[in-house]
Structure 1
Amino acid sequence: MTQNELTRHEHAQPNIPVLYEDNHVLAVVKPVNVPTQEDASGDPDLLSLLKEDLKIRHNKPGNVFLGLVHRLDRPVGGAMIFAKTSKAASRLSESVRSRHFHKLYTAVLNGVPTAPQGRLTHYLLKDSRTNTVQAVRPGTAGAKEAILEYRMIGQADGLSLVQIKLHTGRSHQIRVQMQAIGCPLYGDQKYGGNLSRPGQQLALWSLLAGAPHPVSKDDMRFHSLPPVQFPWNEWPRSLYENMITSEI
């Protein structure tokens, strides 16, 4: 599916750009600090906002179906794909399970990884009471395997810009795995320790989300660049564009 074939709309909401929409799929840019789905905060969440927008734009009575097939942490922004029918939701969810769902991220790290490129495998255990995750020993009860690949793209003033490809979709995976190798993400208030300052925005962005189209089976790839602000603006925009076209 080429970019020219994509149906584009200006906005679903004033701050939620729509990347693509057809009868089966909706791809958007998730704003930072908006929960993906309803949570204990009671703040407006992306799923509810998009459902309301679809209801208004398409003049639909009653409840609107919109399937959540993958998630981004609240502080994270970037490309996301939703399903507009239950069949699409089932097929996209299967793409996630079978690892045919593409997830490409960029992040700014505190410090510099020992290896400029690598594949990380950890076992992560989530504490639902505190909504925190930690890397634990293999075989720990309840722990799930987490795998990612990263490549360092640039450095600036003690920070590193990296490209990350996820092979699994564990809760807080990138944040915890990078912390585990001694390079927590810039602005990570949960896992950054004394390297993060109050008010700093987590520097993690979903550059690309993609999967086989649930009906046509065409390869879908939707991308979004991080905002032009610190620390992202420490590097030229061309680096982010190159990451999208030259995956790990």
Structure 2
Amino acid sequence: MLDVLYEDNHLLIVNKPAGMLVHGDETGDVPLAEVAKEYIRQKYNKPGNVFIGVVHRLDRPVSGVVLLAKTSKALARLNEMFKSKKMQKTYWALVQNRPPQESQTLVHWLVKDSDRNVTKAFAKENPAGQRSELSYRLRSHQEEKYLLEVYPVTGRPHQIRVQLASMRCPIIGDLKYGAKQPLPDKSIALHARELAFEHPTLKTKVSVSAPPPAAAAWAPFRNLK
């Protein structure tokens, strides 16, 4: 079942559940892209091949807003917006420790180990790494959970996860980066909350937000705007 947040002739924006792949991999599990194609086939009675372009990805255990393109024209323009950092991305992250400051900008050089699928953060420039930047602010504190609103400037693999862990604030459930225990559904408490950008053909502003997951970890923050 696809949780559609916004749709028009060029765009399909959905709320991806934690645990779903965006692209297919060696597991053979059905990815979001294929679910979206089937949704369009059924809704518009389109047999045969359906175009869906994946503009960006979320890690499998992460939930939230995913932008898909329904036309090649939209895909090309949206890809260019991501490259030129014209997309405003907002994430919510639940962490198990209070951050050292209530708001801060973090800059690291990230080096990905593809064999182990893990990323390391270096505070000083590393020739093997990619410069990575985000800002965060503390939004709420409930039941020994700290909700950070995160604004990534760059989009590196595992960036938010490893940069928050680098300041001893691992995301709840994220065992790979230092969380104490898993969440029951094997998700991590990182949610792509909002995406704002200029429509690729209409040139109007599009801003779409996704409610946090139904998982118990998010219960204290569900009514937060």
The two structures have a TM-score, normalised by structure 2, of 0.93
Aligned match for 2:188, one of 172, 179, 202? 202
1:232 aligns to what? 218
Partner residue of 1:66 out of 8, 31, 52 = 52
Q: Does residue 1:32 correspond to 2:26, yes or no? A: no
Q: Distance in 1 between matches of 2:126 and 2:104?
A: 24
Does residue 173 in structure 1 map to residue 159 in structure 2? yes
Aligned-residue identity in percent: 38
Q: Is the 8 A contact 1:147 1:168 kept in 2?
A: yes
Q: Is the 8 A contact 2:5 2:15 kept in 1?
A: yes
* Structure 1 gap ranges (5+): 1-13, 242-248
Q: Secondary structure at the match of 2:29?
A: coil
Match of 1:6 in 2: none
| Conservation of the 8 A alpha-carbon contact between 1:187 and 1:203 | yes
Pick from 130, 146, 149 the counterpart of residue 144 of structure 1.
Answer: 130
**Residue 86 of structure 2 aligns with which residue?**
100
- The amino acid of 2:43's aligned partner reads R
CA contact (8 A) 1:33 1:75 kept: yes
Aligned counterpart in structure 1 of residue 65 of structure 2, from 79, 85, 91: 79
Q: What is the alpha-carbon distance in structure 2 between the residues aligned to residue 53 and residue 222 of structure 1?
A: 20
> Which position in structure 1 is the counterpart of 2:7?
21
* Amino acid in the other structure paired with 1:201: S
Q: Equivalent of 2:200, from 185, 209, 214?
A: 214
- Contact map agreement 2:97 2:146 (CA 8 A) in 1: yes
Find runs of 4+ consecutive structure 1 residues off by over 2 angstroms: 59-62, 136-142, 156-159, 196-201, 227-230
How big is the alpha-carbon RMSD for the aligned residues of Structure 1 and Structure 2? 1.6
Is 2:170 aligned against 1:184? yes
Matching residue within 100, 105, 111 for 1:125? 111
Number of aligned pairs?
A: 224
| TM-score normalised according to structure 1 size | 0.85
